[in-house]
Amino acid sequence: MERQRVGFSTYLFLIPGVGFIVLFIGSSIFITITQSFGLFSVTGTSQFTIDHWVALLGDRESLDSVLFSLKMGFLSSAGTILFAFPLALFLRKGGTGKRFLASLVKIPLFIPALVSAFLIINLISYHGIVNEVLVALNLINRPLRMLNDRFGWGVVGIQVWKNVPFVLLILASSLASIRDDTIDAARNLGAGAIQILAKIFIPLAMPGILVSAILMFIKAFGDFAITSVAGPVYPPSIALRMRNTASLFQEWDKAAVLGVIIILTTLVVTWLYAKLAEFVTGGEG
C-alpha cells in the first residue's frame, strides 16, 4: 500500500504549537544560556566569560541549594505517587460515593500553589491547628516545628497535598486501561490481592507511574512559591536563590547560570527516568 504524502498545508497547522515552542521557549533558553557566559548582559558589558560558572560551581551555598531542590524533587515525587496510587486503585471502579470523593480530592487543582502554601501554614505552623490539637490531647508537651524545618518536610507535605489530584488523573487513566478479565483470570488461578497488585497493577501502570514521577520532579525541583513560604531559611531552593541573585543582588548573569543548572538537571533526570522506563518495560514501545 502506497504511503500518502503529507502536503505542505498540513505542516501549517503545526505552526501555532511548534512555532510557540521554538520562538518563545527556545529563544528564552538560548538567552539564558548565553547570559550565563556573559553575553546579552542585562546590567553590564556583554563579554564572553566563564567566571560566573566558576564562581557558582565553587560556591558551597549554590551546591546546597541544588542538593536541597533535588531532595525536594525526589521526595515530593515519591510521596505523591505513594499517596495517589492507592487512591487511584480505590477509585478505579466508579460509584456514587467514590465519584464524590474523586471530586473532593481534585479541589487542590483549582487552588494556586502560593495560596495552598498559606493554607497549609495555618495547619502546621508552630501554633497552628495540628499542634494546638496535639497539645490539647496531651499527645505532645510542646508544639512541634513542622514549618520552615531544616529538612523540608513541610515543603514535601504541601507538594504532596497540592499535586496528588494531578498525579491521580494520570494514574487513574493507566489503571482504567487494565482489563477486568485479566484480574479475574489471576484470581481464578489463585492469585491473592498482594500478588495481583505486584504482578498486574503495578507493572501495567508503570508507564503512568514514571510519567507522574517525571512531571512531579520537574514541578517540585523548580518550585518557587511553596519553598519560599514553607522552606527552611537555609538552604534556599535553587529557584529562590535564582530569584534573590537576580532581583536582590542584581547579578543577572549568575542567575542565568542557576537557570541553566535547573534546565540541565531536569533534562538529566528526565533522561534517567526514560532509561528506567525502558528497563522496566523491557524496551517495548
Which percentage of the chain shows pLDDT scores above 90? 8
Q: What is the DSSP letter of 108?
A: G
- Give the residue with greater pLDDT, 66 vs 10: 66
Is a pLDDT exceeding 50 seen at residue 285? no
Closest C-alpha to 117, from 240, 14, 224, 33: 224
Non-local CB neighbours of 181 within 8 Å, separated by 6+ positions: none
177-229: pLDDT as tens digits: 888 888 888 888 888 888 888 888 888 888 889 889 988 998 899 888 888 88
User: For 230-239, what is each residue's pLDDT tens digit?
Assistant: 888 888 899 9
The mean pLDDT of 169-173, rounded to a whole number, is 88
Cα distance between residue 232 and residue 229, in whole Å: 9
What pLDDT is recorded for position 5? 60
Domains and CATH numbers, the chain: 59-281 (1.10.3720.10)
The x, y and z cell numbers of residue 207, run together, are 508507564
Q: How confident is the model at residue 271 (pLDDT cuts 50, 70, 90)?
A: confident
Please, are residues 221 and 73 in contact by the beta-carbon 8 Å criterion? Answer: yes
pLDDT of residue 224: 87
pLDDT at site 117: 72
Give residue-wise pLDDT tens across range 237-265: 999 998 888 888 888 888 889 999 999 98
**Which has more confidence, 222 or 102?**
222
The angle that helices 96-105 and 153-176 make with each other, rounded to 10 degrees, is 140
pLDDT (tens digit per residue) in 116-132: 777 777 887 878 888 88
Q: What is the pLDDT of residue 82?
A: 93
Closest CA to 243 of 252, 235, 234: 252
Q: What is the pTM of this model?
A: 0.80
